[in-house]
Amino acid sequence: MNHKSVEAISPLDGRYRASLDTVAAGWSEGALIRARIRVELHWVRFLYLHVPTLFRGQTFTSDNWLSGVYETEAAVLRVKEIECETGHDVKAVEYFLRETLQREGYPSQVLALLHFGLTSEDVNNLAYGCMLSQFRTQELLPTMDRVVAALTEKASLYKDCAMVSRTHGQVASPTTMGKALTVHAHRLQRQRDQLASLEILGKLNGAVGDYHGLAIAVAEANWPELTHHFITDTLGLTQNPWTTQIESHDNLIEHLDALKRYNGISLDLCQHIWWYISFGYFGQQVKDTQVGSSVMPHKVNPIDFENAEGNFGISSGLIEHMGRKLPISRLQRDLTDSTTLRNLGTVFAHHSLAQRALLKGLGKIELQPEVMKQELENKWEVLGEALQTCLRKEGVLDAYERVKDWTRGKGPITQADFQQWVRSCAELSKETQAQLLKLTPGLYTGEASRLVDDFVSKWK
């Protein structure tokens, strides 16, 4: 860590910066400028191919525009220099391209058609849409897939490892660790799939959404149809034809809401594993050089899950504000969405940090089946459910009440207690008695193992 990062206000640019290269590549100021450059250049190229009369017979080659030659670090810095003069970020991109293309000898009509018929929000919303599409494909979904894969692998491995369940914090019918992890894997997979299925909207329709400039310049062109092809075929987004000056952000909020649900489920997972570590169900791999406590040498803290929990929470907190702010824009637009959107990278950065910590933590935990087995052996009262259900099957009307009187508040119940009670139930058939006498808390896990197998086979 250098002096600059030590002095950073945000830990994203300080303590955690080395872990956020992929987020910076997708959501930094430079990434936004590069996306704007691509939109502007693609638009001129699209006009050349589909509305050639605009170019008044002037010809040019634009193949190198797709190579990223105008998206270098030097280009981004030059745009920022121009912005210092203009005070306008999108206009700075236009001026940068004009001076660059002019220096390279492009025809005057090409220069004149830079930013043709556009408003800044046409460029911005399409740039953000492209950034979201790329980041979702290259970073968000693959990382979610890795988390689900890690959970599913452990679920399959631990599908038969019985443990005490707890409902309302109290001992309940046993389950398996594999089944417990499967629940979270399934929940996360659903949110991942919903996020992947969302379309990404974009608009290109001028200052208040009515194609004014385009329609007055080339009245005979079908601009809603042309811009539809540009947005869908060139940029790979979905057109939103009915907007004000801004794309309404409802679609972006849908993405953020899906991410918030994913964050919430992940936070719940982190807390579950934290408790399982506290119970001794999971041990953690130890690195000799690391310190768990400044005063208690024995400690191995579940810091990865705690860090993940904190960062999932921050990410979701920012999303909640965006969900309240972004749907609201005064009349045909105000600028409050602009500064809000600039914090999308912060949302994804905290989410990314949380995912990294969660994956790291999952890679370090090791199941302690003997701990779980020993605890179960002292919890014979959990078989009360099995007993009262079998009595109901035999037609005993007060089955629940009888078992409640036997178990509730009576202190520890042993194997001998349970078996004596089974033998004393005259209403139970010999077959049912034999079945119950073979039962132990560790064997009373219902269909937990099968449920894990069903998910694993579906997931694969």
Which of 368, 393, 410 corresponds to the end of one domain?
368
Q: Is residue 232 part of a domain?
A: yes
Q: Dump pLDDT digits (tens) for 198-234.
A: 999 999 999 999 999 999 999 999 999 999 999 999 9
Same domain, yes or no: 279 and 389: no
Give the number of residues written for the chain: 460
Same domain, yes or no: 134 and 25: no
Please report the pLDDT score of residue 194 as a whole number: 97
Same domain, yes or no: 232 and 134: yes
CB neighbourhood size of 67 (10 A): 8
CB neighbourhood size of 22 (10 A): 15
Q: Dump pLDDT digits (tens) for 119-140.
A: 999 999 999 999 999 999 999 9
Residues spanned by the domain of 383: 378-459
Residue segments in the chain with a per-residue pLDDT below the cut of 50 = 289, 291, 293-296
Please report the pLDDT score of residue 276 as a whole number: 96
Annotated catalytic residue, options 168, 197, 294, 298? 168
Same domain, yes or no: 74 and 21: yes
Q: 228 catalytic, yes or no?
A: no
Q: Dump pLDDT digits (tens) for 60-84.
A: 988 888 888 899 999 999 999 999 9
Same domain, yes or no: 319 and 412: no
For residue 407, the domain's CATH number is: 1.10.40.30
Q: Is residue 373 part of a domain?
A: no
Please report the pLDDT score of residue 93 as a whole number: 97
DSSP state of 230: I
Query: DSSP states of 169-194 as a string?
Result: TEEEEEEEHHHHHHHHHHHHHHHHHH
Please report the pLDDT score of residue 298 as a whole number: 53
Same domain, yes or no: 97 and 130: no
Same domain, yes or no: 212 and 279: yes
CA-to-CA separations, 179 to 151, 159, 195, in angstroms, rounded? 11, 6, 25
With beta carbons less than 8 A apart as the criterion, state whether 336 and 325 touch: yes
Closest CA to 214 of 232, 202, 227, 201: 227
Q: Is residue 437 part of a domain?
A: yes
Q: Which two tokens stand for residue 51?
A: 């509305």
Using only C-alpha atoms, the chain has a radius of gyration, in whole angstroms, of: 31
Q: How far apart are CA 43 and CA 235, in angstroms?
A: 10
Contacts of residue 383, Cβ cutoff 8 Å, sequence gap at least 6: 418, 436, 439, 441, 444
Residue 293 class from Cβ within 10 Å (0-12 exposed, 13-18 middle, 19+ buried)?
Answer: exposed
0.75 surpassed by pTM: yes
Counted domains in the chain: 3
Query: DSSP states of 124-162 as a string?
Result: HHHHHHHHHHHHIIIIIHHHHHHHHHHHHHHHHHTTT-E
Q: 293 catalytic, yes or no?
A: yes
Q: How far apart are CA 148 and CA 127, in angstroms?
A: 30
CB neighbourhood size of 252 (10 A): 24
3-class state of residue 439 by DSSP = coil
Same domain, yes or no: 266 and 413: no
Same domain, yes or no: 281 and 351: yes
Which of 309, 333, 368 corresponds to the end of one domain?
368
Q: Is residue 434 part of a domain?
A: yes
Annotated catalytic residue, options 10, 108, 278, 293? 293
Provide the angle, in degrees to the nearest 10, between the axes of the packed helices 344-364 and 141-157: 20
DSSP state of 9: S
Same domain, yes or no: 64 and 126: no
Q: Is residue 159 part of a domain?
A: no
Half-sphere exposure for 310 (CA within 13 Å, toward CB) = 8
For residue 83, the domain's CATH number is: 1.10.275.10
Please report the pLDDT score of residue 308 as a whole number: 96
Q: Is residue 27 part of a domain?
A: yes
Please report the pLDDT score of residue 296 as a whole number: 47
Closest CA to 365 of 450, 309, 284: 284
Q: How far apart are CA 115 and CA 103, in angstroms?
A: 18
Provide the angle, in degrees to the nearest 10, between the axes of the packed helices 89-103 and 73-86: 120
Same domain, yes or no: 11 and 141: no
Please report the pLDDT score of residue 190 as a whole number: 97
Which of 344, 368, 392 corresponds to the end of one domain?
368
Contacts of residue 84, Cβ cutoff 8 Å, sequence gap at least 6: none
Same domain, yes or no: 384 and 364: no
Please report the pLDDT score of residue 334 as a whole number: 85
Closest CA to 133 of 235, 227, 243, 233: 235
Q: Is residue 390 part of a domain?
A: yes
CA-to-CA separations, 99 to 62, 63, 92, 197, in angstroms, rounded? 16, 19, 11, 41
CB neighbourhood size of 219 (10 A): 8
Q: Is residue 160 part of a domain?
A: no
Tokens 């640019």 appear where? 13
